[in-house]
Structure 1
């Protein structure tokens, strides 16, 4: 299929001048905001113990240079144990090497031919291997794997010479366990943050996740894909970024600007590309308002939709190629979900763009085709909340109230963080296993009645209810509902209560007892005594303890 870009119409020169002045006002409004509150920090301590790994040609001279100031251990991967060069520092000839850890806390294991495995601790690692020993896209602090470039290798040595003492970085995330949809009852629900982390800093820990703050590089992609908001970005927080976006768009609009484009970029590679483009005389579109983030993947649909509710006509996220490949895939998916909603509400689009640009010319091309979607005539007044789902509720409600089209619900692709469930009432035994598994309080019982109820607004489509259901009675229905009933408990299934045939007390449901009779009728424990299934636990035990195990009282059938 051949795809061609349609060049946008030439902008009105006078409006371009107004947009340029309005952008200046927007940038000034952001700069006038107070600095974000200090985030918690993560502390590192390095004594400078360096492990150097590589072949003789590349590693020996650099180890010599480091050894002039730091304690060094050298692993020469191409040397023989009996032909090692003489040095004042330790040299080994390993055939296998493994390294893990972070600044001040690396552990290395290696083994030479015919020798026992050795292990030691290091503060720093210079890895000159052909393939990095730590294969994550985002390397831990203190680990240098500069690749084949000689200048980059020398630069790594220079940095290592300065890496002694105490260091700190922000703790980029905050985590609310009670909101996490990772796992329940040994069933896995949401793995989104684990799968996307390019530093391998997140792992499952039973029903929750565990984030290693020493490995976390602050990309924020985990917070972007988290459906519940259990893990959120803390440097800076979503409310702070939301205040910058809201202030900038208000100032832009009040200064006469039109069709504002929010350009989100990283503060390192993205900012460098914008600066390079300016140096080459390539100017941003006058309507583009650049906003630097610690990392381009640290915002998602909550802030993007909030920006549209505040009056932006488009959101562009700039990727320069330095990001992990899974980040682009996740941002694409998030933008597809958001655009599906905007299309269904009748807002002419597109509204979102993932701009992949490694050079100024590629950036200029991407921004020529930046989105100019329709948006609300009346900008929203809400503030971005610390809770992701609350921000989404505010933004979606505002966009819906001002939308050209107001559907009751919008079908969404699988994997979306909104949706309903379909319950097969013929299969459902009302065992309530799904209620216990739901991390978002979307499913609840009927209190004193044998009922299963569902609040759609709470559902994050993690799938734990469907995976937990022993009857395979639940199916996920990804969609976004705007109906008033989305906030109210809706009856999904109900049945008659079942009373113990011996004492008359309710202890289950008719559907559950019928299912048990079908499944356990041939079980040795109930052979010849099927009525025990119709008894509560206490009465069942009493009956089994009677001589002969025969019933001695008149049985009562449920009403």
Structure 2
């Protein structure tokens, strides 16, 4: 449990009674928000073609049970003296691999002294010692129940129902234009790839590729995405924001104090809370999410701006370990900002508990952070960065301390860059690499401009810079200058020595002379590097040794 224990006043029974009534009002208000219907769905088709993988002693009995209803193929991973006689195909494999999803699994296997074989299946029952699909979140249609007989029976019963047409929401939305994964052959942010527990997100050159069929809807990718290029579409952040805002407004209106949002999943977290029953403190407002990894600093800052004294996230041990690490990092960044603004805390709590008694102790120490004097009235936006702007502006306006700049740890999605003017040649490679529009050229003039408000600290500018002249500075600025372009470097233009047209900068030309002076194309012709592109071609094409006849004027 990530808890910073503080001394709290003893419980006031009168206020606790008000808090309990206020929580009831808050939950009713949140539940009154209409359910969001997905605009886009993902469709699966399954005819029931089933692959069963495992040793003979484990695979064949369950294959027999499935074969009474479904078309079955068995892949045995142990060598057989004689092939078992069955009314369905049985193969012996030395190596096997499976990939795909419900209705579209592809299997490859190789028997001793035989070529590689392959097949397509709708369902897979994996009884092998080590799962063939190792991802934490398993694809729809893939069952790997382990050695427990009850779990195997439950998996088989579920598979018998997985025939027909199925659909699920498309959980994500992706805006390629603002993705910070890569530019100009350089790699930048890979946070979404690293955190995806379904292995649904893959590197696709300078962009990412997301499989909607593998996506399990955890929303963790949108939580860690610094630009908001990938966002949660079901449910969208706006709906979560409306539920939070309605709950907190009703809670305060009913006389409740120091409310804490307890975000939990609708299955394991809800079951754990049900075991606590009435022992949950009145100021703790449970709010079920599609997944506990689906909210990050934008939603948390908004909740505190709305008047929440804290946000607690309940993790029950069923989540992927990378989710816990990501939420830990996000909470550290968010708390650094709130501390820097002077709000007494802590405000954020990551609960990793598996038993009701542990949860009861943790909730007694739920955060009691300071909140703005006035609750915010803005709504969560489609764009993550817009929501952050609204929330941070409100928190800063009402903050006990109003610093101009807050230093942040590495990995924060806010910051500035420092440019070494002596090294920078104003080649503008960084401008082309920036996915957020934070870096801009001089529109014809040799200068580099920077808008700090847009910077997401993806690092693409630094990795792209051929002069290694850029250094990241993670920080949060509240200076008015952060909203507009600031000149980071500028110089006078260099003019072509032949036609006098400006075509670069003095630093750039000097760099070219240093790097290309010994190149055969310029040996003995270094002046060509001081010419614009057009004049350089003309100079190269002009004959140098040909005799010229110069007409003489008659006297």
- The TM-score normalised by the length of structure 2 is 0.96
Deviations along 1:26-60, one digit per CA (max 9) or x if unpaired, are 01111222222433110000000100011122211
Deviations along 1:448-471, one digit per CA (max 9) or x if unpaired, are 311000000000000000000001
In structure 2, stretches of 5+ residues that fail to align are: 549-555
In structure 1, stretches of 5+ residues that fail to align are: 553-559
| Structure-2 residue corresponding to 1:73 | 73
How far apart are 1:10 and its partner, in Å?
Answer: 2.3
Contact kept, 8 Å, 1:408 with 1:483, in 2: the verdict is yes
In 2, Cα distance between equivalents of 1:150 and 1:501 = 84
In 1, Cα distance between equivalents of 2:545 and 2:30 = 80
| Structure-1 residue corresponding to 2:383 | 387
| Structure-1 residue corresponding to 2:188 | 189
Distance 1:549 1:95, change over 3 A: farther
| Structure-1 residue corresponding to 2:45 | 45
Deviations along 1:50-92, one digit per CA (max 9) or x if unpaired, are 0001112221111000000000001122241x41211100111
Query: 1:415 and 2:411 equivalent?
Result: yes
Deviations along 1:472-500, one digit per CA (max 9) or x if unpaired, are 10000000000000001000000110111
Query: 1:359 and 2:355 equivalent?
Result: yes
In 2, Cα distance between equivalents of 1:86 and 1:362 = 53
| Structure-1 residue corresponding to 2:216 | 217
The farther-off stretch of 87-96 and 522-531 is 522-531
Contact kept, 8 Å, 1:59 with 1:76, in 2: the verdict is yes
How far apart are 1:420 and its partner, in Å?
Answer: 0.2
Contact kept, 8 Å, 1:543 with 1:549, in 2: the verdict is no
| Structure-2 residue corresponding to 1:315 | 311
Deviations along 1:293-333, one digit per CA (max 9) or x if unpaired, are 11100000000000000000000011000000000000000
In 1, Cα distance between equivalents of 2:432 and 2:47 = 49
Query: Mapping of 1:115-194 within 5 angstroms?
Result: 115-194=114-193
| Structure-2 residue corresponding to 1:516 | 512
Query: 1:485 and 2:481 equivalent?
Result: yes
Q: Following TM superposition, where does structure 1 have runs of at least 4 consecutive aligned residues deviating by more than 2 angstroms?
A: 3-10
How far apart are 1:371 and its partner, in Å?
Answer: 0.9
| Structure-2 residue corresponding to 1:11 | 11
In 2, Cα distance between equivalents of 1:247 and 1:426 = 54
| Structure-2 residue corresponding to 1:36 | 36
The farther-off stretch of 44-53 and 199-208 is 199-208
How far apart are 1:112 and its partner, in Å?
Answer: 1.2
How far apart are 1:7 and its partner, in Å?
Answer: 6.1
Tell me which of 348, 354, 363 is aligned to 2:344. 348
Give the secondary-structure state (helix, strand or coil) at the position aligned to 1:248. helix
| Structure-1 residue corresponding to 2:400 | 404
In 1, Cα distance between equivalents of 2:77 and 2:487 = 67
| Structure-1 residue corresponding to 2:551 | none
Contact kept, 8 Å, 2:38 with 2:170, in 1: the verdict is no
Query: Mapping of 1:492-531 within 5 angstroms?
Result: 492-531=488-527
In 2, Cα distance between equivalents of 1:41 and 1:189 = 30
Tell me which of 418, 424, 427 is aligned to 1:431. 427
Contact kept, 8 Å, 1:345 with 1:405, in 2: the verdict is yes
In 2, Cα distance between equivalents of 1:379 and 1:481 = 22
In 2, Cα distance between equivalents of 1:475 and 1:305 = 28
Tell me which of 464, 475, 485 is aligned to 2:460. 464
| Structure-2 residue corresponding to 1:555 | none
Give the secondary-structure state (helix, strand or coil) at the position aligned to 1:426. coil
Contact kept, 8 Å, 1:349 with 1:372, in 2: the verdict is yes
Distance 1:308 1:127, change over 3 A: same
How far apart are 1:516 and its partner, in Å?
Answer: 1.2
Deviations along 1:3-29, one digit per CA (max 9) or x if unpaired, are 995664321100000000000110111
Contact kept, 8 Å, 1:262 with 1:314, in 2: the verdict is yes
Give the secondary-structure state (helix, strand or coil) at the position aligned to 2:544. helix
Contact kept, 8 Å, 1:8 with 1:368, in 2: the verdict is no
| Alignment root-mean-square deviation, CA | 1.4
Give the secondary-structure state (helix, strand or coil) at the position aligned to 1:120. strand
Query: Mapping of 1:90-109 within 5 angstroms?
Result: 90-109=89-108
How far apart are 1:206 and its partner, in Å?
Answer: 2.1
In 2, Cα distance between equivalents of 1:25 and 1:415 = 39
Deviations along 1:131-178, one digit per CA (max 9) or x if unpaired, are 100000000000000112110011101111111000111100011111
| Structure-2 residue corresponding to 1:110 | 109
| Structure-2 residue corresponding to 1:546 | 542
| Structure-2 residue corresponding to 1:556 | none
Contact kept, 8 Å, 2:4 with 2:346, in 1: the verdict is no
In 2, Cα distance between equivalents of 1:52 and 1:543 = 73
The farther-off stretch of 152-161 and 33-42 is 33-42
Contact kept, 8 Å, 2:346 with 2:368, in 1: the verdict is yes
Q: How many residues align?
A: 545
| Structure-1 residue corresponding to 2:25 | 25
In 2, Cα distance between equivalents of 1:227 and 1:504 = 44
In 1, Cα distance between equivalents of 2:108 and 2:518 = 57
Contact kept, 8 Å, 2:186 with 2:464, in 1: the verdict is yes
How far apart are 1:179 and its partner, in Å?
Answer: 1.2
